[in-house]
Amino acid sequence: GQQVMQIPQYQHVQEGEDFTTYCNSSTTLSNIQWYKQRPGGHPVFLIQLVKSGEVKKQKRLTFQFGEAKKNSSLHITATQTTDVGTYFCAGSSGNTGKLIFGQGTTLQVKP
């Protein structure tokens, strides 16, 4: 069945460094969504990408959807301690009609 894989599982960075998490699907996706979960909290929707090659920005966060619509990335420029948490990608395809979550990347930021 459809699988969505995320790497890395964990990332520790110094405050001010950049951070990137990657999401790869075994099948072509209709859309990709990104969520953030703060420690002790619940996942919160960040953004959705739909078009091949799409790039969207939210302040220091840049989201990309691959040309083949099978991969995506989230890049954070100059991390801050408020960026700490787990970032999940979630993709859906026409075949499954479901949203499948990746395992998440947990980001720790050292001040």
Partner 1 sequence: NAGVTQTPKFQVLKTGQSMTLQCAQDMNHNSMYWYRQDPGMGLRLIYYSASEGTTDKGEVPNGYNVSRLNKREFSLRLESAAPSQTSVYFCANGRGSTDTQYFGPGTRLTVL
Q: Where does this chain bind partner 1 (CB under 8 A)?
A: 6, 9, 30-31, 33, 35, 41-45, 48, 88, 90, 92, 97-99, 101-104
> Cβ(61)–Cβ(78) under 8 Å?
no
Min separation Cβ 41 and partner 1, Å: 8
How far is Cα 58 from Cα 45, in angstroms, rounded to an integer?
Answer: 13
Min separation Cβ 99 and partner 1, Å: 5
Of the two residues 81 and 96, which places its CB atom closer to partner 1 in the complex?
96
* Secondary element (H or E) of residue 11: strand 10-14
Of the two residues 89 and 109, which places its CB atom closer to partner 1 in the complex?
89
Of the two residues 29 and 76, which places its CB atom closer to partner 1 in the complex?
29
Min separation Cβ 53 and partner 1, Å: 20
Q: By three-state DSSP, how is residue 83 classified?
A: helix
Strand partners, 44: 36
Phi-psi sector, 16: left (phi>0), alpha (psi -120 to 50), beta: left
